[in-house]
Amino acid sequence: MSDPIFILGHKNPDADAICSAIAYEAYKHAIGETEYVAARCGNSNARIDAILEHFKVPLPRFIGDVTPRVENIMQSEVRSLSKNSTCAEALELIDKYDVRALPVVDDNGHLEGLISIFQLGEFFIPKPSEPIKMRRVHSCISAIIRSLRATVLHQDRSDQVEELFVRVGAMDIRTFDNNHKERGTSANSSIIVVGDRRDIQERCLQLGVRLLVITGSLEVDADIIERAKERNVSLIVSPYDSASTSWIIRTATHIDSLIDTEVKCFKAEDRIESVKRRIANSNASLYMVTNEDKALVGVFSKSDILRPSRTRIALVDHNELGQAVNGAKHVQITEILDHHRLGNIPTDQPILFINRPVGSTCSIIADLFRAQSLTPTPAMAGMMMSGIISDTLLLNSPTTTALESELLDWLSPIAGISAEKLAKLIFSSGSVIINHAPEEVVCSDCKRYSDGDISYSVSQIEELGFTNFWNHENALDLALEAYRKEEGLLFSFLLVTDINTQNSLLVVAGSDELKGQINYPLKGQNNIYDLAGIVSRKKQLIPYITTLLKTIGVVG
């Protein structure tokens, strides 16, 4: 099955945001698009709980953040080496898994560095200016024996890691002698590779070289073996010719001296966006992901980072990034279904964008069901009725259109409940003010807006009467100002709507300049205004605030 596409309502979800996500999932599944999964990016509330409980629908899963992070793209099955691995082992793994680099870890899985094909290339590709380096082998005799699959005739201190220099004894014995003196490498750090040349073999034993390698699986005279033991010269027989043997001996070099220890490390929870910036000018073949204990937990390459995010989301009941799930900006938005003002939400691809000036997002979804001649299940009909009733205050809000009453008439018999009965259940589900602390009340259904450079928030709560509000007015006023400050907003508004009388009160936090321009009557203390006949945030209050901000000159 393909990756899920999450249907998400806005932050601080209201009933329409939750119900439309659930109903849209049902619609998508009904038309065969089963990868869609309803989700939410905020907590439920008493009203949402009452609706879901009545129709026995589970609360959608919580997804608070979709920001792409390193853990989403890293490879966690990591093939690594230890610093005692040989170049041959490193090259074999690099070739087998078709990678350019491998991490090097210690016995506890802690990162020690990186070995890349570049470092190995530098080691093996001859540099004529430094001939000694071309013969250097940093290893132990046992690793050389393993690499050559050599026959051992005598070995001494074969696990001791040492700096050795390899040379082929292909020349005449006189030249060999001179050569040996000139090279200046001591006998006990010399590896001599030779065929069945007795004179050279004998000279090596006299000199007491560290290792004598006889090539081509050639026979070694018994007395040479005896003398090797006497002189304690390690003596082995390689199945390869001299040229191949010399090359393979060099591949037995331990990788520890070649490891790049200056590697960039990242954490699994690092955001892809910040990682992109950090590696913009780096050409490393592989980046390491470690945990707090410096243990390696994954690796990734530059191409892993640059691939578009696989996370996809569909937005319902909002279209502004400031209201969307954290990280929405960095993932693919496949669809938007909404009934609010248009905010700024640029996309890379053309997308399905349905925005209708109707009473609720659930109205749009119910209309999609109807247009496709699909009958929702009773529970899904109940979800859509609930979104419509909640958002339009049972067809009383000025946002209500003819579509809503039409849809309620269609859905009611399917859901098996009248709109009036459901409205009663929804609106008497418990006061937000009574059930939550003031700081929760001010952000329970809070939406953020950006106009030009400024940001503000508008929260709305619906109550049966204003009694609860007046009992907590001071605490709510203080909580709203605290919220504004903490979020760094220019203003914060709290619209308290009385469902019974269809009137609202507005609590305002922000500068006195703005408050001075509000031409609604003050009620009670300084920060509370009487908004008679106002019930809709999107259709009545937001346009009013937009005009107000223009008047005081903070928005052009």
Residues that bind Mn ion (CB under 5 A): 16, 317, 360-361, 391
Contacts of residue 18, Cβ cutoff 8 Å, sequence gap at least 6: 9, 40, 44, 48, 51, 52, 59, 60
Looking at the DSSP bridge assignments, the partners of residue 105 are: 111
Pairwise CA distance, residues 338 & 30, whole Å: 20
- Minimum Å gap between C-beta 10 and Mn ion is 9
- Minimum Å gap between C-beta 316 and Mn ion is 9
- Minimum Å gap between C-beta 20 and Mn ion is 7
- Minimum Å gap between C-beta 538 and Mn ion is 8
When the beta carbons of 317 and 404 are compared against Mn ion, the nearer one is: 317
Pairwise CA distance, residues 442 & 491, whole Å: 13
- Minimum Å gap between C-beta 317 and Mn ion is 4
Q: What is the DSSP string of 448-490?
A: EEEETTEEEEEEEEEESSSHHHHHTHHHHHHHHHHHHHHHT-S
- Minimum Å gap between C-beta 336 and Mn ion is 13
When the beta carbons of 46 and 555 are compared against Mn ion, the nearer one is: 46
When the beta carbons of 50 and 508 are compared against Mn ion, the nearer one is: 50
- Minimum Å gap between C-beta 360 and Mn ion is 5
When the beta carbons of 14 and 477 are compared against Mn ion, the nearer one is: 14
- In this structure, the strands spanning 162-168 and 136-139 are antiparallel
Residue 441 CB-density burial (10 A; 0-12 exposed, 13-18 middle, 19+ buried): buried
Question: By the 8 A CB rule, do 497 and 463 touch?
Answer: yes
- Minimum Å gap between C-beta 428 and Mn ion is 20
Looking at the DSSP bridge assignments, the partners of residue 191 are: 166, 211
Of 447, 500, 510, 511, the C-alpha closest to 469 is 500
Pairwise CA distance, residues 285 & 18, whole Å: 45
When the beta carbons of 89 and 317 are compared against Mn ion, the nearer one is: 317
- Minimum Å gap between C-beta 318 and Mn ion is 8
Q: How far is CA 344 from the centre of its chain?
A: 24
Return the ∠ at Cα 50 (arms to 47 and 53), rounded to 5°: 145
Pairwise CA distance, residues 486 & 489, whole Å: 8
When the beta carbons of 290 and 360 are compared against Mn ion, the nearer one is: 360
Pairwise CA distance, residues 461 & 47, whole Å: 11
- Minimum Å gap between C-beta 331 and Mn ion is 22
When the beta carbons of 215 and 361 are compared against Mn ion, the nearer one is: 361
When the beta carbons of 253 and 397 are compared against Mn ion, the nearer one is: 397
When the beta carbons of 360 and 459 are compared against Mn ion, the nearer one is: 360
Residue 520 vs residues 144, 156, 447, 544: alpha-carbon distances, Å: 90, 98, 22, 11
Place of tokens 């530059």: 302
When the beta carbons of 185 and 444 are compared against Mn ion, the nearer one is: 444
- Minimum Å gap between C-beta 443 and Mn ion is 17
Sign of CA dihedral 372, 377, 383, 387: positive
When the beta carbons of 51 and 220 are compared against Mn ion, the nearer one is: 51
- Minimum Å gap between C-beta 361 and Mn ion is 5
Select the residue whose beta carbon is closest to Mn ion and give its number: 16
Token code pair at residue 138: 């940093």
Looking at the DSSP bridge assignments, the partners of residue 317 are: none
Return the ∠ at Cα 368 (arms to 365 and 371), rounded to 5°: 155
- Minimum Å gap between C-beta 391 and Mn ion is 5
When the beta carbons of 237 and 403 are compared against Mn ion, the nearer one is: 403
When the beta carbons of 315 and 414 are compared against Mn ion, the nearer one is: 315
Long-range Cβ pairs for the range 30-36 (8 Å, 24+): 30/369, 30/372, 30/374, 30/376, 31/372, 31/374, 34/1, 35/1, 35/2, 35/3, 35/4, 35/5, 36/4, 36/5, 36/6, 36/7, 36/314
- Minimum Å gap between C-beta 338 and Mn ion is 8
Residue type, 282: S
When the beta carbons of 16 and 477 are compared against Mn ion, the nearer one is: 16
Token code pair at residue 404: 């809503």
φ and ψ of 436, to 5 deg: -135, 155
Looking at the DSSP bridge assignments, the partners of residue 167 are: 192
